Chains A and B, each alone.
Chain A
Amino acid sequence: MAVHEFDAVIVGAGGAGLYAAMELGRSADLRVAVLSKLYPTRSHTGAAQGGIGAALGNMEEDHWEWHMFDTVKGGDYLTDQDAAEILCREAVETIYDLEHMGLPFDRTPDGRIAQRRFGGHTHHFGQGPVRRACHAADRTGHMILQTLYQQCLRHDVRFFNEFQVLDLLIEDGVACGVVAWEILTGELHTFHARAVMFATGGWGRIYKVTSNAHTLTGDGAAICWRRGIPLEDMEFYQFHPTGIYRLGILMSEAARGEGAVLRNRYGERFMERYSPTLLDLAPRDIIARAMLTEIREGRGIDGKDYLYLDFTHLAREVLEEKLPEITSFARTYLGIDPQREPVPVQPTAHYAMGGIPTDVWGRVVVDEKNTVLPGLYAAGECACVSVHGANRLGTNSLVDILVFGRRAGRDMARYLREAKLVPVAHNPTSNAREQIERLLASRGNERVAAIRDELGQAMMDYCGIFRNGADLCRMLQILGELRERYARIQLFDRGRVFNQDLLEAWELGCLLDVAEATVRSALHRTESRGAHMREDYPKRDDENWLKHTLLYRKPDGTFEFRYKPVVITRFPPQERRY
């Protein structure tokens, strides 16, 4: 068993993890390790397409206050407004910071960063769409990931690639390291550190149709939850309106930002009926529900469960120059030229608004009084600050990873000036080792892939865009059955070298945990808000539910809910209309 010592250990090498690592690398003489289950440039930040929202005002008048209003309203007023203010103010300087690091943004004729429209982003507090999303074609996330990785290399950040973190070490209430499994050798490593950060991304793989990578299995959230840290607002899961039918691959909202429209089987631009002002650029929860309503009422294409995203009225240059990546997806995976034929789409599981609770410095907080767990940080999709509230706006995931990845890095640097190294327990790997050995020793007849498929299908059916109490109870029962079967799995591979069979089995355990947190929270919240739509409680209920959910799993296996108030500073809750 190898033991490593660092000042800070960051788990996950997407935008949030890399930004924090780079801040530590460039600001101080600190030893930083980044652990990734992949190679850093494979992280899912690279799949983000459309843009980063920031009120630069390069194309037309814009202000961070307008961005903040859109974020709060988009989040159906569950957004913490102190955090949203930081998000939208610091988005601007963060964009310049990235540009100075070399990020190749598209440019205006006068050489400034180019910006475009995106769903839910408006001028004058909701008057009409505004061009706010800074972009590099439809490869914005790719450029972020490359630029930050390059800067980390420049600043001598140490990478441990293909290391799967299995456990978080906490001693005397202070985070002091992680235990990781080296995929290449099967060896366990202890990373002993004064600060630990999780930036492990989301868990779209709890759903069958998802835009998320296969590797997005909620590891960081599950690990923290198992160590007694609550998960916040897990009931809020976003479906992106336009995934390629059956495949779930994303057709960026930038498509609609550039003028593409949604149509039903009669060729109607049905968003005119659901969102008269913003039309196809309404927020995602509203469009996803409108699409499902069209499908349920028989207006899907050929009466089936999909609709059309229509680009055929756009100029070919728009597709080739501004949307080259999604044009290529349509060609590669469907054999369709989107300039000639509409693309079949359906909503695809996309983004977790909830996650590991943090304050505005990325510090993990463990209760309704925002008590900090010293030394532990989280940022990006795995975290819940909460800037997205009940529904995230397009582009704000990138803003979130950048602004709060950067802030977490800066705060860690500050924390590390004082913090002492807390000794780890006598046998730090015992919990991780036990997890692995249990999976290797299991001699049942159940297959990991079968359980995972059934989980994904059931979550689509019972905990998707429309929810109700009966379905959610059914889903809890299914989860219980799947867990029983999970205890009786049989691995094909019991070797040490690159045992991905074992890795996938371990990941399935995380999926089951985050799915459980999602379903329990969804059943508990008896109102409809943002992405959480309860058919049996169709109205937003500010009187009882203008609050965040914290869900704990206790050592005895029972669950406890607590609540945290929503921070409201500038924008009192109003009815949400677009």
Chain B
Amino acid sequence: MKATIRIKRFNPERDRRPYWAEYEVPVDPFDRVLDALHYIKWNLDGTLALRRSCAHGICGSDAMLINGRNRLACKVLIKDLGPRITVEPLRGLPVIKDLVVDMEPFFRKYRAVMPWLINDEPPPPRERLQTPQERARYEDTTKCILCAICTTACPIYWGTGEFLGPAALVAAHRFVFDSRDRATKERLDILADRSGAFRCRTVFNCTDACPQGIEITKAIQELKQAIVLSRS
């Protein structure tokens, strides 16, 4: 079968503003959108720029807006979209070229929540013990692949670039609820700031869009509760 792929293109060396280009691509219903984009790039127009690496939803490189929703191009199949497909760069991050956006603002927010385990007590000779129940407490938020789909699906983030955004809050959650971490207070102080967790208005766009199925809104609500409890 054939599919028509419309792509929002922009090359800063050539174009003054973005434009739409349309490509006819031979596809199999089980092809990924990434396969169709590769077909274009390798056969029709090699100037098309997009990030990708693993091509099976693990590395988080190929997040883009596909038929109006944020998705990984390697994790959505043609058969689930039909023969007319529209592809745009993620919203809320500056476009560099075609489907490539500037990820630095996104990673800056991630770094702001101190996304690393902090525990300066001398470690035991073997592993620190953690029960399966304690481990399950933060399982969901360990799955994040930092693809930026949630943050760039969030209307609050579009409204104010100040907001840490869902992905950074997911990273904070992963450590706040890890029984081994000792920096809960410092982290919650960061999250209690006006750019932090309380900016979330529970729109659920992030949860709906997450390719890893993380219950992001719920995680953010748990952070809000933890902040409130820590202050009462």
Q: A506 contacts the other chain (Cβ, under 8 Å)?
A: no
* Contact of B132 with A498 in the complex, beta carbons under 8 Å: no
* A80-121 interface (Cβ within 8 A of B): 95-96, 99-102, 104-113
* A501: nearest chain-B partner, CB-CB: B46
* A197-251 interface (Cβ within 8 A of B): 213-215, 247, 249
Q: A106-B135, A214-B52, A332-B57 are in contact. Are A184 and B96 (CB under 8 A)?
A: yes
* A159: nearest chain-B partner, CB-CB: B107
Chain A neighbourhood of B42, CB < 8 A: 447-449
Q: B24 contacts the other chain (Cβ, under 8 Å)?
A: no
Measured between alpha carbons, how far is A500 from B99 in the docked complex, in Å? 12
Q: A495 contacts the other chain (Cβ, under 8 Å)?
A: yes
Measured between alpha carbons, how far is A554 from B77 in the docked complex, in Å? 47
* Contact of B128 with A99 in the complex, beta carbons under 8 Å: yes
Q: A277 contacts the other chain (Cβ, under 8 Å)?
A: no
Measured between alpha carbons, how far is A56 from B114 in the docked complex, in Å? 31
B144 to chain A, nearest CB (A): 8
From B10-18, B153-161, B184-192, give the one contacting chain A. Answer: B10-18
Give the contact-size bracket for chain B. Answer: 35 or more
Q: Which of A44, A328, A449, A500 is in CB contact (< 8 Å) with B54? A: A44
Q: Which of B41, B100, B128 is in CB contact (< 8 Å) with A100? A: B128
Q: A42-B53, A104-B138 are in contact. Are A497 and B96 (CB under 8 A)?
A: yes
* Contact of A102 with B97 in the complex, beta carbons under 8 Å: no
Number of interface residues of A (CB under 8 A): 61
Measured between alpha carbons, how far is A153 from B168 in the docked complex, in Å? 14
A406 to chain B, nearest CB (A): 16
* B39: nearest chain-A partner, CB-CB: A449
* Contact of B138 with A38 in the complex, beta carbons under 8 Å: no
Q: A151-B116, A491-B46 are in contact. Are A111 and B130 (CB under 8 A)?
A: yes
Q: A102-B181, A112-B127, A150-B115 are in contact. Are A42 and B61 (CB under 8 A)?
A: yes
* Contact of B142 with A136 in the complex, beta carbons under 8 Å: yes
Q: Which of A44, A56, A113, A498 is in CB contact (< 8 Å) with B59? A: A44
* Contact of A100 with B56 in the complex, beta carbons under 8 Å: no
Measured between alpha carbons, how far is A153 from B143 in the docked complex, in Å? 19
Other CB < 8 Å A-B pairs besides A109-B131, A495-B14, 17 of them?
A38-B51, A41-B146, A42-B59, A44-B54, A44-B59, A46-B54, A96-B123, A96-B127, A100-B119, A102-B178, A104-B135, A143-B142, A214-B53, A333-B56, A448-B46, A498-B49, A498-B96
List 19 interface pairs A-B (beta carbons < 8 Å), by A numbering: A42-B60, A42-B61, A46-B145, A47-B54, A47-B58, A95-B127, A96-B127, A99-B128, A105-B135, A107-B132, A111-B129, A139-B142, A139-B143, A325-B58, A328-B57, A334-B30, A495-B13, A497-B12, A500-B41
* Interface positions of B (Cβ within 8 A of A): 11-14, 30, 32, 41-43, 45-47, 49-61, 75, 77, 96-98, 100, 103, 107, 111, 114-117, 119, 123, 125-132, 134-135, 138-139, 142-146, 175, 178, 180-181
* Interface positions of A (Cβ within 8 A of B): 38-39, 41-44, 46-47, 56, 95-96, 99-102, 104-113, 136, 139, 142-143, 146-147, 150-151, 153-154, 161, 184, 213-215, 247, 249, 325, 328-329, 332-335, 447-449, 491-493, 495-498, 500-501
